[in-house]
Each structure stands twice: as structure tokens, then as C-alpha cells.
Chains A and B, each alone.
Chain A
Amino acid sequence: MRYGTVTARLARGVVLAAVGGLLTAGPAVAAPQDGKTGTGDREGSAFGLALSGPIPLAPKPAVASASGTRRAALLDEQHTKVLKASALDVAASPAMSRASVAKLRVAAVKLAADLVRAHCSGGKGAAELVDAVIAGRRLPVSPAPNTTIPVDLPQLGQVALVLNKQERVPNGTRVTAMELTAPLGKLGTEVVQVSSATCLPVVKAPSGKGAGTAPRPKPVRHDLPVTG
């Protein structure tokens, strides 16, 4: 396969995904799915798949939460000519978020994984890959943070794969289980992110140890209209 052909297939497939909505074909269950990617100061967030570069695709499915847990899932197979995945499942709360994508296939770069999972809790992230392979090379199940794997594909060029990518974001940590950066010729560089979760560090409240007991209140004569 010639370089141009592979690039064209990759680009065409991504275009189809973005324009045709193929990545969102499956029904969302257990919404709410608000489309927020979640970088608020006090939010946890998660998404399953995202594309950026010449042909961007907003994170799908994506949730963010400043209080309580929000979850979204796309159970049906999501497929394009270059990317297939199923059972995209994400959940987010401020202190704990997770994302998982099953049966991932990116044929153009010979990438396959039965499961790609990211987990973030209390400001610490981790990634897990099950039966993941790129260009015949088996990938670690529990990669160390920011494991970079360069892959040279004759038809496509240098592809960079980062596993368990960990970033500091305002007031928290983002872990992306898999980030693939591939050249698209003259179009530029396309970035595919799979399973990303953001969470805040645990806030440690003072214990009160050693402090005296707070006094029992004495009601005061005072009137305040309240919301009955």
C-alpha cells in the first residue's frame, strides 16, 4: 500500500466519522451525556474517544461532574474505515473518574486492543491495556506513566504512541490510556486519544483532633424569613 493511499484512507475514514456521526451512532445509555469535556476547576471528567488535528472529533462519550457521579455509555460498535471500537463507557465525579473502550481497532496503524481503560482517583491516574498490539508488538498491560512507543510504518511514517499519558491540569490530574499521533501528510498531524479520565486530588479536611468540644448553641431571638 502506498503512503498516499494509507493517508487518504485514514483521512477519509476520520472525515466519515466526524461528518457522518458514525462515532455517535450507538444509543447513549444511562445518560446524562452533556458533551462537556470537563476542565472546570472543581470537576472530574472522562471521555472514551477523541480526535484532534486536521479532522477533529469532540470527545465521545464525555461526562463532567462537579458533584456526584455522572455516567455515559455507547454500547453499540462504533466504526469507520480506520477505527472500530465498542462498549465505550465513562463515569466522572470530582475525585474519581474512569473511561474504558473495548475492541479497539485502528487498522491503518495496525493497532488493536481488547480493552483500553483509564482510571483516575484522588489525583492519581493509571491505565490498563488488555491484549493490546501495535504493528505486531505487544503492549504492556499496566504501562508506566508516559510510556512512549515510536512505531515506524513504511507507508505512513513515524507514529508516536503514548501509553498512560499523565498531565497536570488545573487542580487535578488527567490520565489518557492511549494517545496516538500520526502524520497525515500535507493535512498535518492527527491525534487519537482513547480512554481519558480527569480527577481532583483528595482534599484533606483538618481532623479537629485536640480541639475542645464546640459549644451547644443558645437560640437567639431573631427573625429571618426562610424558604419554609
Chain B
Amino acid sequence: MKERAVRSWALPVAAVLLLGGCGGHGSGGRADAAGRSPAGQAVDAPEATTFATLRGAPADPAPDAGTGGLVVHPDEAVAVLDRPGGKPVAVLPSSELGGPTWVPAVEEDGEWLRVLLPSRPNGATGWVTRRGGGLRTARTPYAITVDVAHRALTLLKDGRQVGRWTVAVGDARTPTPSGRTFVMASLEPAKRTPSPVVLPLGTHSATLDTFGGGPGTVALHGWPDASVFGKPVTHGCVRVPQDALRRLAEVPLGTLVRLT
């Protein structure tokens, strides 16, 4: 067993944060799924969900860069290819965790868009096509940056700072991963404590294969004890103050989150 897997098993049960407990897997991401290729043919490939690990998905070409804010929603499951016109590496479902799928477009090549995916490995990307009209596109004016070293979260709108908060980040053994990702979902857990809203991101802990029965998904969420803010005390998530959570919950799904 790999070290990080051992470490995840070694965590005390009390430390497991069940933000709402272990629910179902929503879109059923562990199973292979059938999407449609650009030619309309059925494609068998893993669903690109937070539960999946995608083999052959190309890495983010510019993990430090921003984007123009374009986000993409598939009306129905679509094939994700390793390059424009290439081989399928995943199927992007139309919903993630019970809500609509929105992913950021980070590169454009004609009618093809490279999008960030919510699966492992972190930084996984793939290409989807606008051909056939099955993709809805929109623009989010927002971007979020988390300066992990300085434990600061900044909310930007049209490039201008509209909020900045001191937050809690991962500790030395379970650091908050770096790179760019996105707001994958907006969840209301059954239990409103410690956070009434949880915003899972499209990235995962690099040191925990699993956590509390989940796949190690990193999220933005609130925390009732303000003394944690400014400290590296989490298992990778970013805990934010209440007013920050209220603002962040208004940000469209697919909004870019840069973890630096």
C-alpha cells in the first residue's frame, strides 16, 4: 500500500470532517459512462467526476495562468479527447454532484475548447468540441485566488479585487494543493455545521487518496471557530469566514480558482 494511502487510513475517525456525511456519488462517477463522440458515436470512457482518475488526460498547459472567464456546460454527456480530434479520455457528464456541470475553458483551437476536469490527477484537462451545438458557454466575471503561503483568499470581479479574507489552509502533512482549478459544485449538506454551504473544487489532496469516505476533494467552506483563520490547520480544504462564504456562494460554477 502506498504511503499516502496508509496515512489516510491512519487518520483518527474524529478528525474526519463529514460535511453533511457520506452521501451518494451523485452522477455515479465511478462507473464508465457512455458519452457521444463528435461524430455522434457512443464512447465508453470514465466519467470526469471528482471520484474518477483519468488515464491519458493531458496536464494543464499553464497552471499559473488566468483565463478569459469562459465556462462550458454540456447539455448531455460529451466525449473528452486528449487533443482536438484525438482519442477519448473521459466523458463529461451534464451534472456533477447533483448540480449542473460547468467547467472553465483554458485554451481554444478552432471549434475545440480545452477544459479543466474535476478528476484526478490534479490539473487533468481534455478537449471538447462546440460542433453539433451540445455545449452551452457563458462567461463568469469572477476569479478566486488563494495565496496559501499567506493564507489569504481574494475574490476578483472583472480583474478587480472585490473581497479579501484571511483563511485557514492545509497543514504541513496535508497541504492545500497548488495549481489552478475551479468551483465544481455548490452543496447544501444535510448538517449545516460546520458549514451551511460547501463549494467543492476540481482538485484533490496530493497526500490523501481518500478522506472520510470521499475521494479527497478539496473545497471552500465555512468554519464556526474564527480562531483557525490565518493558520495551516486543515487537511487541504480552505476554511473561510462567514461573510466570505456568502460572497463565494454567489460565484458561478466553473469560476477559476488559483491556488498559489
Contact = CB atoms under 8 A, between A and B. Distances in A.
Interface of A: 41-42, 66-68, 93-95, 171, 200, 202-209, 211-228
A225 B64 CA distance: 28
Given A211-B139, A217-B99, A225 B106 contact: no
B19 A223 contact: yes
Given A215-B252, A216-B252, A223 B21 contact: yes
B60 A220 contact: no
B62 A95 contact: yes
A192 B186 CA distance: 56
The listed residue with most B CB atoms (<10 A of its CB), out of A205, A206, A226, is: A226
B197 to A, nearest CB: 6
Nearest to A94: B62
Given A225-B211, A226-B237, A203 B187 contact: no
A46 to B, nearest CB: 17
A154 B4 CA distance: 62
B139 A214 contact: yes
A226 B254 CA distance: 18
B156 interface: no
B64 A228 contact: no
Nearest to A40: B59
A194 to B, nearest CB: 28
A223 B106 contact: no
B63 interface: yes
18 contacts: A67-B63, A95-B65, A203-B106, A205-B66, A206-B67, A206-B105, A214-B254, A214-B255, A215-B138, A218-B186, A220-B185, A222-B99, A223-B187, A224-B23, A225-B18, A226-B218, A226-B219, A228-B234
A214 B253 contact: yes
Contacts of B188: 219-222
Nearest to B59: A42
A218 B99 contact: yes
A195 B138 CA distance: 45
Contact of A227 (B174, B183, B186): B174
Given A226-B17, A227-B236, A228-B234, A212 B139 contact: yes
Assign chain B's interface to a size class. Answer: 35 or more
A205 B64 CA distance: 12
B108 A227 contact: no
Interface stretch (B30-38, B40-48, B68-76, B85-93): B68-76
B235 interface: yes
A227 B211 contact: yes
Given A227-B219, A228-B234, A222 B20 contact: yes
A206 B108 contact: yes
A44 to B, nearest CB: 11
A221 B98 contact: yes
Contacts of A207: 68-70
Given A67-B178, A67-B179, A223-B19, A228 B107 contact: no
Given A205-B107, A218-B99, A224-B20, 5 more contacts: A219-B99, A219-B188, A222-B98, A226-B237, A227-B219
B249 A227 contact: no
Contact of B138 (A94, A204, A211, A222): A211
Nearest to B142: A214
Given A203-B62, A205-B65, A227 B235 contact: yes
Contact of A224 (B113, B200, B208): B200
Contacts of A208: 67-71, 105, 137-140
B61 interface: yes
Contacts of A228: 15-17, 19, 194, 211-212, 221, 234-235, 237, 239
A23 to B, nearest CB: 32
A203 B61 contact: yes
A223 B190 contact: yes
Given A227-B208, A228-B235, A222 B97 contact: yes
